[in-house]
Amino acid sequence: FVLNTIHCKCIVNIKRLKRESDIMRYSNLAGAEILKDYQTFAQMIKFRQTEAKKSVIIKISEISHIEHLKKFCEYYAKIVNVFPYNTIDNNRFVLMECNSNKDVEALREIAVCKADPEYAHCVTPFFLYKPRLKLYTNQNTVYKDNYGYHSNFGTPNLNKINQSLKKIQSVSNQMIFLYDTLRITELNTRLRFYTATQISYYLSQLFINLSVVPFGSSVNGFGQIGCDLDLLCKTNISSNDTAGWKKFLFMTQVVPLTDRIEQKHFLDLIGTIIKTCMPGITDVKKILEARVPIIKFRNLSTNMQCDLSSTDMTALHMSELLYLYGQLDWRVKPLVFTIRKWARSMNLTKENPGQWITNFSLTLLILFYLQTKHILPSLTSMKIFSNKSNTIDNFDWFLKWKNSVSNNDESLSKLLCEFFEYYCFFDFKTHALCLRDGITKLKRDASPLYIYNPFNPSLNVSKNVTISELLRLVGHFQRALQIMLNSTEQDTLVKLINFDSNSTINNEFNKKNKSVSISEKFIPNVTDTNNLQKIEKNIIK
């Protein structure tokens, strides 16, 4: 079966296409997205950055102004897409994509830019729109929403999710629904790239060699609505940088900053520039003493909570690796989204980092499990990361893997159940996960949970997890497994993501089911706990 699209020309396995059509059934945009999904990470980033550079954000006072605003802008520029939205503080904006950079320039020419506080952040490339004529004065006029008005910044309401889940028969389809409901929307992706491009734009006015790129869950395919925007500020020089004498060259070296003190100084300065010079930015906090120094801030017009760091490129490579894993098999994303949602409902993951497992480590647990099922390849078997220079080769390799017939055809529901089972019996006491080789290995130290960093085997990604958090995690794996084994198809997911110690579902569940006793030998014992806590304290010191 040959599929021809604007994005690519590739041979697709009919069986796989059929499964992917399951996703399409539950998703408005999925058809387009699946085709786009065949882009490499670099192609996707480039595509989104170009799109962001061709976009402007316009503040409007009334939603009913959109139609008029579009007509007004079309007089000066060619408009391709219009996305109205409101932020949580109830400000109304429109993200407008133009046909080219020239169109953006034309709109910037006509932008309102005053020193009035009301217009405080109305400088390019963001501006405010107020029609001179009051066009829609009639209060009874019902605005016809042709564009779909978005306020998709909050996490979807759990009650609504539950009601919808109850209407879907199979657990596998419920998981696809959950993925479709929770993942970042098209508008949200655009706003993330717009935010990064906007900061890059301002910094580039001062320095010739600074740029800002998004990484983490905003770009790796596993981002949920409302997740933070991780930004990486990097130093680089391209051959086009000619305006050198007018601007500063940040640092003399172009290599990423590896020294922590240098990183702190660098971020300290960037943080001050963001706070004092950039419009539309608020709540700037410099967290420079953390293991990874960051600047936290909120962008008012895009409503993004940002974490800007200057870590080396590993974090970006990690995002690329996760992105690729998410593309290799259609089941990866629905499985990851379901388990992440479950973990959040159980309070196993939290909004702030701490002694508990992070979404990132949890995702690695899932990806490793899928490696053991031969659904995903190990890192070493992917030539792609040993030779990062040639993207065309990467793309060929990717298509070859994607079209190779996998022996594993298990349903999402079965994979979910077996995931819980796998980690119920995992020997956390002595063994570590190694995604690089796709096998378990001995731990290198006494950390309760040990996941080798795929790009730096001397580091443990989940070093922060304490023994009590690991025990809690395993306890919840056991409970989840019980729920899956004891519930009807229709009830399973609702029970899983609503499990809370006071709920009726939980009490009924406890009455009916005896606790699964998993052999103690797999989990570090209490004596170890004391030792481990001592070791952890020493490490922190």
Backbone dihedral angles phi then psi of residue 282, each to the nearest 5 degrees: -140, 175
E strand residue ranges, 373-430? none
Q: Which residue stretch of 121-129, 159-167, 268-276, 357-365 sits at the interface with ligand CTP (rule: CB under 6 A)?
A: 357-365
Out of Mg ion, ligand CTP, none, which partner does residue 460 contact, by CB within 5 to 8 A per kind?
none
- Transcribe 111-144 into DSSP letters: ----SSGGGTT--TTEEEE--SS-----TTPPP-
Out of Mg ion, ligand CTP, none, which partner does residue 273 contact, by CB within 5 to 8 A per kind?
none
Q: Please report how close the Cβ of residue 263 comes to ligand CTP at its closest, in angstroms.
A: 15
Among residues 352, 345, 383, 347, which one has the least CA distance to residue 494? 345
Out of ligand CTP, Mg ion, none, which partner does residue 319 contact, by CB within 5 to 8 A per kind?
ligand CTP
Out of ligand CTP, Mg ion, none, which partner does residue 461 contact, by CB within 5 to 8 A per kind?
ligand CTP
Structure tokens belonging to residue 329: 């098999």
Measuring CA to CA, how many Å separate 424 from each of 78, 257, 355, 492, 538? Answer: 57, 41, 20, 18, 29
E strand residue ranges, 207-303? 210-215, 229-235, 281-287, 294-299
Considering the rule CB under 6 A, would residue 315 count as an interface residue with ligand CTP? yes
Measuring CA to CA, how many Å separate 497 from each of 138, 159, 408? Answer: 46, 11, 27
Q: Please report how close the Cβ of residue 295 comes to ligand CTP at its closest, in angstroms.
A: 14
Residues near 135 by beta carbon (within 8 Å), at least 6 away in sequence: 64, 65, 68
User: What does the alpha-carbon distance between residue 371 and residue 435 come to, in Å, rounded to a whole number?
Assistant: 8
Considering the rule CB under 6 A, would residue 314 count as an interface residue with ligand CTP? yes
Q: Which residue stretch of 100-108, 139-147, 210-218, 453-461 sits at the interface with Mg ion (rule: CB under 5 A)?
A: 210-218
Out of ligand CTP, Mg ion, none, which partner does residue 180 contact, by CB within 5 to 8 A per kind?
none
Between 318 and 483, name the residue whose CB sits nearer to ligand CTP.
318
The single residue among 318, 332, 384, 467 that binds ligand CTP, judged by CB under 6 A, is 318
Size of site (CB under 6 A) for ligand CTP: 16
Between 64 and 311, name the residue whose CB sits nearer to Mg ion.
311
**Amino acid identity of 55?**
S
Q: Binding string, 450-469, against ligand CTP, x = CB under 6 A?
A: -----------x--------
- H-run or E-run covering 89: none
Among residues 472, 434, 468, 474, which one has the least CA distance to residue 450? 434
The single residue among 84, 125, 216, 326 that binds Mg ion, judged by CB under 5 A, is 216
Structure tokens belonging to residue 152: 């998709």
Out of Mg ion, ligand CTP, none, which partner does residue 360 contact, by CB within 5 to 8 A per kind?
ligand CTP
Q: Please report how close the Cβ of residue 394 comes to ligand CTP at its closest, in angstroms.
A: 18
Between 230 and 329, name the residue whose CB sits nearer to ligand CTP.
230
Considering the rule CB under 6 A, would residue 342 count as an interface residue with ligand CTP? no
Considering the rule CB under 6 A, would residue 189 count as an interface residue with ligand CTP? no
Angle, to 10 degrees, between the axis of helix 171-182 and the axis of helix 489-498? Answer: 40
Measuring CA to CA, how many Å separate 494 from each of 80, 184, 500, 503? Answer: 40, 22, 12, 12
Considering the rule CB under 5 A, would residue 230 count as an interface residue with Mg ion? yes
Strand partners, 81: 97
Q: Which residue stretch of 201-209, 220-228, 440-448, 471-479 sits at the interface with Mg ion (rule: CB under 5 A)?
A: 220-228
The single residue among 127, 153, 323, 360 that binds ligand CTP, judged by CB under 6 A, is 360
Between 213 and 474, name the residue whose CB sits nearer to ligand CTP.
213
Angle, to 10 degrees, between the axis of helix 489-498 and the axis of helix 467-486? Answer: 160
Considering the rule CB under 6 A, would residue 418 count as an interface residue with ligand CTP? no
Report helix, strand or coil for 245. helix
Between 306 and 335, name the residue whose CB sits nearer to Mg ion.
306
Residues in the chain: 541
CA angle 414, 419, 422 (to 5 degrees): 120
CA atoms within 13 A on the CB side of 488: 6
Q: Please report how close the Cβ of residue 476 comes to Mg ion at its closest, in angstroms.
A: 22
The single residue among 33, 62, 228, 437 that binds ligand CTP, judged by CB under 6 A, is 228
The single residue among 152, 181, 211, 217 that binds ligand CTP, judged by CB under 6 A, is 217
Residue bearing tokens 């734009």: 201
Out of ligand CTP, Mg ion, none, which partner does residue 358 contact, by CB within 5 to 8 A per kind?
ligand CTP
Out of ligand CTP, Mg ion, none, which partner does residue 221 contact, by CB within 5 to 8 A per kind?
none
Considering the rule CB under 5 A, would residue 221 count as an interface residue with Mg ion? no
Between 124 and 185, name the residue whose CB sits nearer to ligand CTP.
185
By the 8 A CB rule, do 24 and 34 touch?
Answer: yes
Considering the rule CB under 6 A, would residue 220 count as an interface residue with ligand CTP? yes
Considering the rule CB under 6 A, would residue 216 count as an interface residue with ligand CTP? yes
Chain residues binding Mg ion by CB under 5 A are 216-217, 228, 230
> Where on the chain is the footprint of ligand CTP (CB under 6 A)?
215-217, 220, 223, 227-228, 230, 314-315, 318-319, 358-360, 461
